[in-house]
A = this chain, B = another copy of it.
Amino acid sequence: MSRTNEERSSASRATLIKVGRRLFGQHGFAATSTPMIAEAAGVSRGALYHHFKDKADLFAAVVEAEFARLAEAIDDAATEASDPLEKLIEGGENFITAASDPVSQKLLFIDGPAVLGSGMLHAVDTDTTTNTLLIGIEEAQAAGRLPRDIPAAALTSMMSGAYDRAVIDGFGADEAGRLAIRHAIRSLWEGLSKLT
């Protein structure tokens, strides 16, 4: 059994990220040790440190993959609404659905900021989900469905914060609570549209 170097390498990397996602998502960053990860991945700790600078670096890779996973899930559920505002609202609901996985939550919203720093995390985020939101807002503004005098970046931040919270709070809530949250978010959008 002989594999090419790149095969070995990428297989190990992928396994470590996969296992890392599970363990980090389950026990949190601090409570997940590198011995645990290495053992679960069936490699030595040396291999882990060969592929990743340190524990946080592996975590960063996990988070990056998770953002990608999320972005893909959202794209897959892309809406067919013609109204840019409705598109925004539906896209947001898709985000909430996709990000409501407990593992996603812990990785992206709980441990992510603490381990990677909100700056570093933001850099990844901005390339994926938040960017989708920004573009949607800009389109809605161009179409006159959202007020043009609000800087799109600032509005994106605020709504992104609201969505993150929707996911976090929605986790512990019952069906009625989750419905209330969606209603509240929709109202935020609709209220904004009244300002145009």
Known: A30-B30, A191-B188, A192-B191. A180 touches B161 (CB 8 A): no
Q: Is the interface of A mostly helix, strand, loop or mixed?
A: helix
**Contact between A162 and B172 (Cβ–Cβ < 8 Å)?**
no
> Which residues between 134 and 170 of chain A lie within 8 Å of chain B, taking CB atoms?
147, 149-151, 153-155, 157-166, 168-169
Give chain B residues whose Cβ lies under 8 Å from the Cβ of A88: none
Q: Which of A12-20, A38-46, A108-116 is near enough to bind chain B?
A: A108-116
Interface size class of A (residues with CB under 8 A): 35 or more
> Which residues between 6 and 63 of chain A lie within 8 Å of chain B, taking CB atoms?
28-30
Closest 5 CB pairs of A and B: A161-B165, A191-B191, A114-B114, A194-B194, A154-B180
Give A contacts to B, CB under 8 Å: 28-30, 109-111, 113-115, 117-119, 147, 149-151, 153-155, 157-166, 168-169, 172, 177, 180-181, 183-185, 187-188, 190-195
